[in-house]
Chains A and B, each alone.
Chain A
Amino acid sequence: MFDFDVPLFPEQASTFAPQVDALYFFALAVTAFFTLGIFVAVIYLFVRYRRRDEDEYGDPIHGSVALEIAWSVIPFIITMVMFGWGAHVFLVGMTTPEDAREYLATGKQWMWKFQHPEGHREINTLHVPVGEKVKLTMTSEDVIHSFFVPAFRVKQDVLPGRYTQVWFEATKPGAYHLFCTEYCGAEHSQMIGTVYVLEQDEYQEWLSGGIVGSSPVASGQELFAQYACNTCHEQDGNRRGPSLHEIAGAEVQLADGRTVERDENYLREAILNPAAKLVAGYSNLMPTYQGQISDEGVGHLIAYIKSLDTVAHETEASDDTEAVASLD
């Protein structure tokens, strides 16, 4: 009836997993050492110094400065090792690499929606190629959710009204659990899915087999045309708005003197709240698109704007090049 082959550790299926596990084994060793040490010492003392006579008293030992310093300093050093090592692993997990495939993810009560760079949409399943860095840019349509794939050891809360990111590089083909780990209401435990890690060729096959919607970049381009963004944002940047080429990720000086990085959250704000962070040299002419473009649409526009960057650098992504070439 039951499968008694119970695993004690989850599968390692990302480049990040072994790093977390190594740290975990170290922490487990420390825990086991001190727990067993305390258990053995306490049980030994408990038996050794049991009361043998009703009038018996314990020795009046009030303490030992040397010992107490020792067991203050040693735990401190061990915790600092754990802190340092933990911080290192954390920074690896939190620093999104530049050269990752970018997916869009949206959490809502109670499903996960994904979109591939090529335009494929999925709900509660996510197909990714093995051996390639994958980055998810995530937002929520309602409450806070959290993206968690145990086999990859990655987790990140997904918030309404802003973007968060998570990245991983899968190392082993297979199907892995995807969980929502921030309590989000009635069907919280049904907000689960599967991440399929495919070999490169299988992934390409999967891509060609699926029903292809337009890619985020292409949808973004459509929206860009639909709202006639190019009337102001021309390539040369001499019009009313700044050029959008080569801006994603770059720093820019604002009208109020601040310098900010034009990351996804900046671009989102620039579309929904143009007045918030005006670029130096431009005046506040752009209307707000709050409520006019959906969250998804904003994601597509950002993908498109970022693709303009890619073109300029003449990197791969031939699909995108075509898309932009037609615009030019």
Chain B
Amino acid sequence: MIRQLTEFMGREATVAHHFETAEQQKESSFLGMWLFLCQEVLFFGGIFAAYVNYRVMYPEAFIAGSQQLDVFIGAMNTLVLLCSSFTMVYAVWAAQTGFRSKRWHNGAHVAFGLVGTLVFGAAFLGVKVVEYSSKFEHHLVPNLGFIPPVSNIEHPEATEIFFSLYFGMTGLHALHMVVGMAIMLVMLPMAWKGKWNTTNHNFVEGFGLYWHFVDIVWIFIFPFIYLIGNSVGKLT
């Protein structure tokens, strides 16, 4: 995936030999990126389809599972992720407009945006680690001493499917974030040196699309996993 991203975005200011114009190069980069994101939608689509299937089969077990999760933490994490998208937009905007302040050159502003995104991303993952570890304490990790949290519902055993999907969906999402953050670490020094500017910012812009996509995936995961538990009273 890293290779893919750099391939899409890693163009020099000059036009690569096989393109005729910079315009053609830019259009190609973005079409490629959007197609890559389409592919990602279908990738997550598979596990979401599995989710929908089981949600319909075992509504109570899913509600019971969801009620084991902390909506407040989930909501805070959503907020953190939205903030990271904001800083990402800042980086893209700084590159596009060539914004500079009295004190800092343009590349620094792009880098600040990236640093902000990295910090928020790290905060999100940190919270995720805390959440995961509490699942171990509460015997909610599938296959590792899983105990259905409630018994007096239909199909209590299906809560294990819920938690499998929980780890599967949030895990794949987190993996996408880790990949994105690794790329940002590589980007940071390049941004500082002013590699991306008003004439050449395809890479930052394309990476921004990827980061926002990862955000949007979370926007779907959050209600599916955390909020459905509130549709009825607490199950015991």
Answer yes or no: A and B touching, Cβ < 8 Å: yes
**A residues apposed to B, CB below 8 Å:** 273, 275-277, 284, 290
Interface residues in B138-168 by Cβ distance below 8 A to A read: 152-155, 157
Q: Which residues of A contact B152 (CB under 8 A)?
A: 275, 284
Chain B CB count within 10 A is highest, among A275, A277, A284, for: A275
Q: Which residues of B contact A273 (CB under 8 A)?
A: 154-155
Q: How far is the CB of B49 from chain A (nearest CB, A)?
A: 19
Q: Which residues of B contact A284 (CB under 8 A)?
A: 152
Q: How far is the CB of B132 from chain A (nearest CB, A)?
A: 29
Q: Which residues of A contact B155 (CB under 8 A)?
A: 273, 276
- A interface secondary structure, majority: loop
Q: How far is the CB of B147 from chain A (nearest CB, A)?
A: 15
Chain A CB count within 10 A is highest, among B152, B153, B155, for: B155
Q: How far is the CB of A269 from chain B (nearest CB, A)?
A: 8
A277, B60: Cα distance in complex, Å: 11
**B residues apposed to A, CB below 8 Å:** 152-155, 157
Q: How far is the CB of B43 from chain A (nearest CB, A)?
A: 26
Q: How far is the CB of A70 from chain B (nearest CB, A)?
A: 37
- Smallest CB-CB A-B distances: 5 pairs: A276-B154, A275-B154, A273-B154, A273-B155, A275-B153
Q: How far is the CB of A160 from chain B (nearest CB, A)?
A: 14
Q: Which residues of B contact A275 (CB under 8 A)?
A: 152-154
A273, B155: Cα distance in complex, Å: 6
Closest to A275 in B: B154
A284, B157: Cα distance in complex, Å: 17
Q: Which residues of A contact B157 (CB under 8 A)?
A: 290
A48, B157: Cα distance in complex, Å: 71
Q: How far is the CB of A40 from chain B (nearest CB, A)?
A: 44
Closest to B154 in A: A276
A275, B155: Cα distance in complex, Å: 8
7 additional A-B pairs beyond A275-B154, A276-B155, A277-B154, beta carbons within 8 Å, are A273-B154, A273-B155, A275-B152, A275-B153, A276-B154, A284-B152, A290-B157
Closest to B58 in A: A276
A276, B57: Cα distance in complex, Å: 11
Q: How far is the CB of A258 from chain B (nearest CB, A)?
A: 12
A275, B153: Cα distance in complex, Å: 6
A275, B157: Cα distance in complex, Å: 13
Closest to A290 in B: B157
A132, B35: Cα distance in complex, Å: 59
A52, B154: Cα distance in complex, Å: 79
Q: How far is the CB of B55 from chain A (nearest CB, A)?
A: 15
A95, B142: Cα distance in complex, Å: 40
Q: How far is the CB of A280 from chain B (nearest CB, A)?
A: 16
A284, B153: Cα distance in complex, Å: 9
Q: How far is the CB of A89 from chain B (nearest CB, A)?
A: 30
A290, B157: Cα distance in complex, Å: 10
Q: How far is the CB of B225 from chain A (nearest CB, A)?
A: 23
Q: How far is the CB of A282 from chain B (nearest CB, A)?
A: 14
Q: Which residues of A contact B154 (CB under 8 A)?
A: 273, 275-277
Q: Which residues of B contact A276 (CB under 8 A)?
A: 154-155
Q: How far is the CB of A139 from chain B (nearest CB, A)?
A: 18
Closest to A291 in B: B157
Closest to A269 in B: B154
A290, B148: Cα distance in complex, Å: 14
Q: Which residues of B contact A277 (CB under 8 A)?
A: 154
A187, B152: Cα distance in complex, Å: 41
Closest to B151 in A: A288
Closest to A272 in B: B155
A276, B157: Cα distance in complex, Å: 12
A286, B101: Cα distance in complex, Å: 72
Q: How far is the CB of A73 from chain B (nearest CB, A)?
A: 34
A273, B152: Cα distance in complex, Å: 10
Q: How far is the CB of B56 from chain A (nearest CB, A)?
A: 13
Q: Which residues of B contact A290 (CB under 8 A)?
A: 157
Question: What would 10 A/B residue contacts be, using CB atoms closer than 8 Å?
Answer: A273-B154, A273-B155, A275-B152, A275-B153, A275-B154, A276-B154, A276-B155, A277-B154, A284-B152, A290-B157
Q: How far is the CB of A16 from chain B (nearest CB, A)?
A: 32
